[in-house]
Structure formats: structure tokens, C-alpha cells
Amino acid sequence: MANVLVHNRIRVSPSSLRLGATIVLALLALFGGAAPAAGAPPANDTWQRLAQLPEAVTEPLLAFAVSPSEPATLLAGTPAGNLYRSSDGGQSWKLVKRQLGGPVTSVVFDPYQSGSVVVGTHSAGAWRSSDGGQTWDREAGSEGRSVRAIAFGPGLTLVGSDQGALLSHGGAPLTPSGPQTVGVSAVAVVQGGQPTRLVIGADTSRAEEALPLFASGDGGQSWAVAAKDVGASSMVSALAAGPAPDGSPRPLLLGTNAGLYSSHDGADSWQQLTGDPALPAVDFSALAWSDRTDQFYVASDGGGSDAGGIWQTADGGSHFRSLEPPVHAVTALAVSRGLEPVLYAASFRPVDHAVFLWSYRDAGGSPQTAIGAVPAPKPIAQAGASAPGPALNPAVEARQLLHGPETPFLALGLVSLLVLLLALGAYAGRARKL
């Protein structure tokens, strides 16, 4: 009896206790201590590769966004129609919406309403979240449309679809606005309040205008061509509105197939930004502003070539410098708020169809890339071979389950089951000795 502990008439041997304690500690380590720590803030002027998404992505990723109020909250949408959220600056990802109905083409946070974000898809309309991207509902009025561009004003949502622009006021369903015969590829809210000034651009023309670029000064009730001073441009690839100065229209950037333009009078006139040799003649498909009216970023995929990249200006476009991203074909760009903004970018490597996500804190220094950030290209499947599909990685899904909100309940249940099994084993052993 010296080697047996007696408690509540159930005898448990010390070896059983040691075994149980070992298992309990292992469970606690698995559920409580193995969660990935939040990543350190991005190093100054250094490209760092973010965690890989939990699915095989072999097509360009077009939808990538950072929350304006929570700089560590990111959203990424995939060509397979899945949506992922990160709350640690891209060090880990969690699936928040599976199969939106079509490839995710855009994702934009509402800077006027905390937690509000809208996602656009190809052929499956738009989806909205009011809790920072954790849960999603279909945006009424967008069903069956391809949504490629989204912008916000105070109490206003402007959406660009394959059948013209759509508008929502105060959370009401989206309703048609603007030319319905063009596929809208870019939108911007230049001035909120009354009157509301809006600008939309398309990459297909009705052949009635040289460039399908339209502006509205009455909140979308009527539209007029706004393509003055844009040279030989024939399609719009991107629009972006900068910080709002006091009482004046927000500065605008316009990316076209023939160059980059800016406007400071609400799209009435445009100035081409080509005076700096550092800025190449490419199709700029992603534009983003910092908190300053003279600092912005422009990106291009270069048509899948080395001509792509990211360029920055801190003097309103008089001079540019390349930020030298590790993979030149940049397909999506988002910029956080702050004096030293953090850039989040998606890039595509055509040689092996690899998709990478990056972060870069712009402190004004010489760009560099973290050691080991760019893996060597992998062989791709030959013609006729089955390509990897969008199925989720089981190991990643398991880690998400272990570190999700349900983790404490799973741990408690497993520990309780373990204690019960130990008690039953001890009771059975005692019964055999009687």
C-alpha cells in the first residue's frame, strides 16, 4: 500500500499520475503555448515575405487590403473565391469565407466606418462585413455582377461593375448609377457631403469617347466625360483619391494604358506624371496614398515581365524612386496609415506561377530584401498534367482549428476526457485486485 495513493476511494498509482501529468502538459503546450506569436513590426525599408495563404494559389492575387484603424488586420481574396484574414500583420491567416461564388477581384476597407469592408467578385456580386472581415453577407443589388472596384464616402459606397456603377447611401441596397454600357474598372469619391463628386473609369469604350472616364458632380444622378488632357489613353486601369484637404476636392491619381496622371480640381483637368526617368512607361494597375497629399505609391505587374514594380514619390509626383520589390510583377497594393506607412503587396512570378505576399515599412531609406525571402522557382506541371487545385492545406486547417476561438473549449474537453479515462483505468485496476 505504500506505493498507492488513496483519494475518494479511487486508487491511482504514482506512475499513472506522472503519465497523466505528462499528457496534460502536452495538451496545454499544443493548445495554449503553440500559437504563433504576433510578428514584429516590419523592419525599416526591408521587404519581408508574409506567411503563405492556406491554399495553393497559382494565379495572380488581385485583392489585398489593410484596415485603416487596425494596421495589423489584413484581408486577402483568392482566385478560387476564398477570403482570408490576418490579425497579426500577415504572420498567420485564417479562412473567414469559403467559396464566395467567383474569384475575388477587390477588397476595400471603409475609412469612414470602423469595421466595414466590401469585397468584389467575378460574376457573384459584392459582399460586406461590419466586423472587420470576420463574417460576411451578400451586398443586395449586386447579384450576378462582376465587381472590380470599390470606393467610399461619408455614408456612401460606390461600386464599379461590368454593367456600370452602383451606389448605396446609408447602408441601403446598391442601385444602378452611371453609364450602364461600360465595364467599370476603377472608381473614386473625390468629394463627400453636398454635392458629392464621383469619378469612374472603364477599360472598355462605347466608341463615343476617346477614354471611358466619367465624372458626376451631383452624387451620381448625371455623368459627363472627364477625359480632358489624357493624351492617347484609351482605357482606365486604376483610380485613387488622396487625403481630403480642407474644403477642397481630394487629389486624384489616374492610371491608364498610356501613363499616369493626377488631378487637383476634381477631374476637370489632368497632368501627366512622366517627368522622372525613374518612372517607366508601363500600365499602372494599383495606386495608393499615404496620409500626406504629396506622398503616394504606384504599382504595375509589367505585363508579367520585369518592367513591373512599385514606385514612391514624396513631392507630389515631381520625382519618383523605385522601392525594388523582390518580385517585379506586383498585382495588388495596400498602404497603412502613419508617418512611416507600411506597404502590403502581392506579386506573381510567371516562371513557376508562384504568388507571394510582402510587407515593407517606408522610412525613406534604400530598399533591401530580407535574407532568404525569395525562394528558388519550383518546376511547374507540364501541359496536360493536373495542376494543383484550390483545396485547403489540411495541416494549415488543423493549426487554424487549434488556435481559433474554440480552442479553450477543445482543450477543456480533452483534459476532462483524459481525467475520466485515468479514473476509469484506476477503478478497473482496483476492481481486479479485489
DSSP for 68-117, written as a single string: SS-TT-EEEE-TTS-EEEESSTTSS-EEEE---SS-EEEEEE-TTSTT-E
286 band by pLDDT with thresholds 50, 70 and 90: very high
User: Is the pLDDT confidence value at 275 over 70?
Assistant: no
How does 286-300 read in b/e, with b if 16+ C-beta sit within 10 Å? bbbbbeebebbbbbb
pLDDT in tens, 30-74: 443 333 333 456 789 999 999 999 999 999 999 999 999 999 999
- The pLDDT mean for the chain works out to 83
Show the cell assigned to 7.
Answer: 483519494
Beta bridge partners of 199: 188, 215
Mean pLDDT of 72-90: 97
Residue 155: count of CB within 10 angstroms of its CB: 16
Q: pLDDT value at position 431?
A: 52
* 352: DSSP letter: T
Which of 264, 267, 306, 303 is closest to 284 using CA atoms? 303
Confidence class for position 402, pLDDT limits 50, 70, 90: very low
Taking the complete model, does pTM exceed 0.85, yes or no?
Answer: no
Mean pLDDT across the stretch 196-216?
A: 87
pLDDT surpassing 70 at residue 18: no
Which DSSP helix (H) or strand (E) runs through 16?
helix 14-28
Q: How confident is the model at residue 5 (pLDDT cuts 50, 70, 90)?
A: very low
What is the model's pLDDT at position 305? 74
Task: Give the C-alpha separation, 282 to 278, whole Å.
Answer: 12
Q: Which of 42-46, 265-269, 276-280 bottoms out in mean pLDDT, i.e. has the lowest?
A: 276-280
Using the predicted structure, report yes or no on whether residue 256 has a pLDDT greater than 60.
Answer: yes
Q: pLDDT value at position 364?
A: 95
Would the pLDDT of 28 be above 80?
Answer: no
